[in-house]
Amino acid sequence: MSEKKRILSGIQPSGALTLGNYVGALRNWVELQTEDEYEAFYMLADLHTITVRQEAKNLRKNSMDLLALFLAAGIDPEKSPIFFQSHVPAHVELSWVLSCNTYMGELSRMTQFKDKCQKHADNINAGLFTYPVLMAADILLYQADLVPVGHDQKQHLEITRDIAKRFNNAYSETFKLPEPYIPKVGARIMSLQDPTSKMSKSDPNENGYILLLDTPDAIVRKIKRAVTDSGSDVRRGEGKEGVENLMSIFSAVTGKTMDEIEAEFDGKGYGDFKSAVAEAVVEELRPIQEKYNELMSNRDYLQQVYRQGAQIANRVAMKTVSKVYRKVGFIQP
């Protein structure tokens, strides 16, 4: 087994990616490739996506879009396998065994289940209830040492560790206990219309988020409409959450510190600042959009990437499933 620490991460192909996804996840994943201490697997989590009803044609389009954006952002499939979750049957196979080692009470306490029930009251399905077990299977299949987690995912890592401990205690040491991976860099990008909420593609107000594939005109328009306050000073402080969010975005795409930004725009108004933020974001996303368009015209290459990724993922995942099946007492085929 590799001496490098193994990382597993993934994104659901449930819609277009935002600037927040890029700064908070994708760009950090690309950075990991320059560090020789990590071995990363990147998953397009299409099985998780169907806990909410999807139009089949939209899911297929979103899946290919997401794959192309992974590559356009700079993830190298020769260094880090990229695969569709549904192309590795071991995810579902391990999920069933782990379901039989997970308690109803644990799942009922998951806050995301409660949140999703409120948002999708017309489709409270069993998958919505048990998907933390599938998430645990995703992580444990690859014997991941580390899992990049945001604040809203910490509970999922905790239940993953609980399930792994329970299985290890019952059947002997089988799974590594994954630890959270906290990126060295990365800002938390908030909604442009509600800076107390994370930027999200599910925001009902399209002016609240910037998509990676937004046109330059759309980016400029959204940033100009971003909520600020009644003042004009570009600085941090109480009541200036909107300005601070724009400063975080500007910092994330230019590398400038918050102190440097305050000094640069001292005495200038929000109009000048918003124009600078918009220009910086447009330039950051331009090469990604150009590469994305190039990749989407080469479907054969995209297919080669996800097939190769699935082959590598299947080899690793089946080693774990075979070990688990043997330990629970299944006859080996």
40 three-class SS: strand
154 is catalytic: no
Domains assigned to the chain: 5-186+299-328 (3.40.50.620), 206-294 (1.10.240.10)
Say which residue the tokens 């300005």 belong to. Answer: 243
198 is catalytic: yes
First to last CA, the chain: 24
Residue 33 and residue 190: Cα distance in Å, rounded? Answer: 27
pLDDT at 273: 94
Task: With beta carbons less than 8 A apart as the criterion, state whether 7 and 147 touch.
Answer: yes
What does pLDDT average to over the chain? 91
Tokens of 285: 């996303």
Size of the chain in residues? 333
- pLDDT of 122 over the 60 cut: yes
Active site residue: 5, 176, 201, 224, which one? 201
262 three-class SS: helix
Residue 319 and residue 4: Cα distance in Å, rounded? Answer: 18
Active site residue: 4, 79, 114, 116, which one? 116
Q: What is the pLDDT of residues 24-53, one digit of tens each?
A: 889 888 888 877 788 999 999 999 999 888
The sign of the torsion formed by the CA atoms of 163, 37, 1, 303 equals: positive
Q: What is the pLDDT of residues 217-259, one digit of tens each?
A: 999 999 999 999 888 889 888 889 999 999 999 999 999 999 9
pLDDT at 183: 67
319 is catalytic: no
Task: With beta carbons less than 8 A apart as the criterion, state whether 242 and 195 touch.
Answer: yes
Active site residue: 198, 222, 240, 274, which one? 198
Task: With beta carbons less than 8 A apart as the criterion, state whether 46 and 185 touch.
Answer: no
Work out the number of other CB atoms within 10 angstroms of the CB of residue 34: 8
